[in-house]
Amino acid sequence: MTPLNEPVKLPCGLVFPNRLVKAAMAESLAGSGNAPTPTFLEAYNQWGQGGWGGLLTGNVQVDVDHLGTPLDAAMHGEYSGKENNEALVGLWSQYATACQRHGTPSIVQLCHPGRQSLRVAGRRGVFAPTIAPSAIPLQLGDSMVQRLLSWLVFPPPREMTQGDIEKVTRQFVDASRLMADSGFSGVELHGAHGYLLDQFLNPKSNKRTDAYGGSAENRAKFVVDIIHAIRKVVPETFAIGIKLNSADHSSDSFEDTMTQIGLLMEAGIDFLEVSGGSYENPTMMGPEKSARTVAREAFFIEFATEARKRFPGLVLMLSGGFRTRAGAESAIKQNACDIIGIGRPAAVNPKLPLVFLDEKVSDEEAQMVLNRVPVPSFLRLIPLNVGAGLETKYYADQIKRFAMGLKTFVPGI
């Protein structure tokens, strides 16, 4: 039997029936209301029938004033409990049902973009600042033109006050309570890809001199406090995971990152997903790879392997680059991770596990090769990395296509 068919039990007791989990992707289907739409729900209904061990949703932003993109799903205000918010719970329960009606455990990825909120995304207004641990603007390049374009796309952030920190903590807790009351199996905090939690963890974006800055422990305090606060208000069986960056932490801060993982474990996380990249360095969309990395498939396996050595009891999910059953099996057999996260292939074939887990299907057939999304010649004139945005849009379009019953396509076809 392929090791991918083995179940994985989280510390909270939740069981994934196999090791293949649909990784989080931007669906861009929430509409102008920033809430699940019928097409949105149908996409998850299709994934729910796909044989996945679990589903991770795309970003659900904890504050509708601060969105990553204009079409993100989001919380619209405070949540004071099921009895006082029946309509709200009913709406999100439809989402949970769409994901789980076929028995697939589903985890909601909760996020705050911090300084990575587009100027046109969110209801704070196009001239209002974003928020961040420190008032360090996002820079998509070093030239004057790139700096100007960065300012036009992403408003400069203001440093968060203690009141801001307490408010965002409540927002993560409220969102977690709502997801638990709506019937989801857990939440994953997005602490990667340059979003707000990652901004606090990372010394490049966190220059604070108070209790939330400086040492590795201080930079992790915001995230650790959120985890403790969530654990107090959700059932013991409700999973709490976190997505953590590997690729944008330098060798100088590697030990700090290991220290922070230890703190996250002590706070009570049920799993850790290893990913990487940010808007400034979009490694999660696929780094430039050597022949060895291509053959291995997993983009961030070295980091995951080292984390496994340091924390053998930590349930690890590794996402980014898996395209074949053989590559996924190799990562499991190396003991680099417990769970395989698959993103873009799942946007083209929402039922991919039915192929990977069927041992009657040969290894040669159990794969999905994806080329880069081509960049139109006129966009190459823009002095910014537009490739990552095109990749995101392309696969969001494929999600919409299969949700509408249309054929999906791999890039270039």
Question: Is the dihedral angle over the CA atoms 118, 124, 127, 132 positive or is it negative?
Answer: negative
What percentage of the chain has pLDDT greater than the value 90? Answer: 78
Amino acid of residue 31: G
Angle at which helix 162-182 crosses helix 86-100, to 10 degrees, equals 60
pTM of the model: 0.92
Looking at per-residue pLDDT, the higher value among 148 and 96 belongs to 96
Q: Is pLDDT above 80 for 185?
A: yes
Query: What per-residue confidence (pLDDT) applies to 290?
Result: 42
DSSP for residue 156: P
Residue 229 covered by a domain? yes
Backbone φ, ψ for residue 243 (5° rounding):
-95, 130
Q: How many CA atoms lie within 13 A of 132 on its CB side?
A: 26
Residue 205 covered by a domain? yes
Residue 413 covered by a domain? no
Residue ranges of alpha helices (H) inside 183-215 are 196-201
Characterize the bridge pairing of strands 130-132 and 239-245.
unpaired
Q: Give the DSSP letter string of 251-320.
A: GGGHHHHHHHHHHHHHHT-SEEEEE---SSS-GGG-----HHHHHH--TTHHHHHHHHHH-TTS-EEEES
Residue 379 covered by a domain? no
Mean pLDDT of the 120-140 span: 94
- The CATH number that applies at residue 12 is 3.20.20.70
**Residue 293's domain spans which residues?**
3-115+158-370
Residue 353 covered by a domain? yes
H or E element in which residue 396 lies:
helix 387-403
Mean pLDDT of the 119-128 span: 94
Residue 121 covered by a domain? no
Average pLDDT, the chain: 90
- The total number of structural domains in the chain stands at 1
Q: What is the pLDDT of residues 158-175, one digit of tens each?
A: 999 999 999 999 999 999
Q: Is pLDDT above 80 for 296?
A: no
Q: What is the pLDDT of residues 339-357, one digit of tens each?
A: 999 999 999 999 999 999 9
Q: What is the pLDDT of residues 47-62, one digit of tens each?
A: 999 999 999 999 999 9
> Minimal CA–CA distance to 60: which of 182, 228, 175, 194?
175
Residue 73 covered by a domain? yes
Residue 378 covered by a domain? no
